[in-house]
Amino acid sequence: MADHITIRKAPGTWTVRAGGAVLGESSNALELSEGDYPFVIYFPREDIATAFLDRTDKTTHCPHKGDANYYSVVTKSQTLTNAVWTYESPKDGVARIKDHLAFYVGDGIAVEQI
């Protein structure tokens, strides 16, 4: 793993909400810290209501984590385009984030410890 990335079990229980709907809640989330960036909570895919997610064609590449795929969040009132990302085949050093989803916070999405 890159020296500037740490992954640990996120303490407590975490929830993600969008458009007034709870998309997921997990006590098995991971906290990924990368350099000076704010930490990101990665939710196990099985703890997220994936019926709210639509896969998009967007992909990005991180030299430390690998290739990310994206999803939009579709609620009754809005579509939040490319608001979710996942590393389906992460690099070995960050393999723990496989089968996890992360969310861009703000603009209609909230990730909170409860």
Q: Is the dihedral of CA 76, 50, 83, 42 positive or negative?
A: positive
Torsion angle of C-alpha atoms 2, 63, 102, 39, degrees rounded to 10: 40
Determine the length of the chain: 114
What pTM did the predictor assign? 0.94
Q: Please list, in sequence order, all residues whose beta carbon lies within 8 angstroms of the beta carbon of residue 102, skipping any fewer than 6 positions away.
A: 32, 40, 41, 42, 43, 84, 85, 86
Residues of the chain with pLDDT below 50 are none
Which pLDDT tens digit goes with each residue over 38-66? Answer: 999 999 999 999 999 999 999 999 999 99
Domain that holds residue 47: 5-113
Q: How far is CA 8 from the centre of its chain?
A: 14
User: What's the domain count of the chain?
Assistant: 1
Residue 30: which CATH number? 2.170.150.40
